[in-house]
Structure 1
Amino acid sequence: MGSAHPCIAGINIYQPAPPTGPTQQPLQTLGNFRGWDIRTEKLQQNLSWTVKQQCVDLLAEGLWEELLDDEQPDITVMDWYEDSRLDTCVYELHVWLLAADRRTVIAQHHVAPRTSGRGPPGHWVQVSHVFRQYGPGVRFVHFLHKTKNRLEPRGVWRTRVTDSSVSVQFRE
């Protein structure tokens, strides 16, 4: 039972962190978000969520059914978000391991960390989760994160996020 090694099936869904400070520009103009579905959810007062998601096809990324079903390699999701202090919760991560029909949920993970309130705003926080022994049938990883925005007269203050990744680790 050796240690897990990152495999060739690491899927980096990197996105650049938008620049700091308020902006009038839409998020899509601030970086390369190819592959991401992006929408905005309005909240009360001047707050909103930016919701970004994508569905990773594990077979298209080079894995095969027998490997996923029999070996069930660890699937790690990782993300970094800025503790912007725009609200008590500025970030959420939702991940589903899906069957071939893209609807049947085999495993899932949800987290909505609260700000610590310590130290200056703007430090980066890592969020990660490892799916283990999830059972047969996984073919897709649906990755969705939400970041809080605040609209001010000078523009939109965004909670930045970067280095989102999905990776698959084989065990020796």
Structure 2
Amino acid sequence: MSRNLLKNPYGEEELEFWDLTENGGSQWKVEDMPGDCGFDFCIDGVTKYFATSFELCLKRQVIDLLAEGFSAEQLDAQPAVMVEDWYCGRTDCGCTYQMATSLLDENHEVIQEFKPEEVTLDPDSDDCSWKQISHTFSDYGPGMRLISFEHGGHDTKFWDGWFGVRVTGSSITVDV
């Protein structure tokens, strides 16, 4: 079984291992599930999530695949790279969610990127419950040495506090 290469995907260690690339408003916060106006997570054992604020909050990890024990030969064989993320909104405030995952070469140049359209969750037209987004990279050519994963968002009403998108359970696996 492939292991998750992202460290601290559920917030059990607060914001450890995450580079806060945008930390606006009341900034990032880790909260206990289900939180105010929230939903329980659909996987047993998940007790925390990351909450965003009224200005854009983005966090990132860059995974060095050679440091994680993969060889250049394994990586140049173009193994499947799977990315997953979970996000939800609150039942009292709309929010936006965005994510981007990039396969990078040794010079941090993008080989291939997955960057879906930004999602807006509105409690008037959506139940705002936990949703999963996933993607599998393949046929991207040789040279991948790093993977960049970034996600986040903000609320749509600009309320002071943590009314923006909630994220947890992020995962990146490489199938060698």
Do the structures match in fold with TM over 0.5? yes
Higher relative contact order (CA closer than 8 Å, sequence separation 6+):
1
**Mapped partners of 1:40, 1:90: distance in 2:** 15
What is the rounded CA distance, in whole Å, between the counterparts of 2:143 and 2:24 in structure 1?
32
Give the greater-gyration-radius structure (CA): 1
**Amino acid aligned to 1:37:** D
Aligned residue pairs: how many? Answer: 144
Identity, in percent, stands at 31
The reply to whether residue 64 of structure 1 matches residue 47 of structure 2 is no
Give the one of 105, 108, 113 matched to 1:108.
113
How many angstroms apart in 2 are the aligned matches of 1:15 and 1:151? Answer: 26
Higher strand proportion (structure 1 or 2): 1
**1:34 alignment partner, one of 13, 16, 30:** 16
Displacement of 1:151 in angstroms is 4.5
Aligned to 2:143: 137
Deviant stretches of 4+, over 4 Å: 116-119
Long gaps (5+) in structure 1: 1-5, 18-29
Structure 1 position 147, deviation (Å): 2.0
Q: What is the letter of the counterpart of residue 174 of structure 2?
A: V
Aligned to 1:50: 57
What is the TM-score normalised by the length of structure 1? 0.72
Tell me the alpha carbon deviations over residues 29-83 of structure 1, each in whole angstroms, 9 at most, x when there is no partner. x9522111113256xxx931111011011111111101111x2110011110113
Cα RMSD over matched residues? 2.5
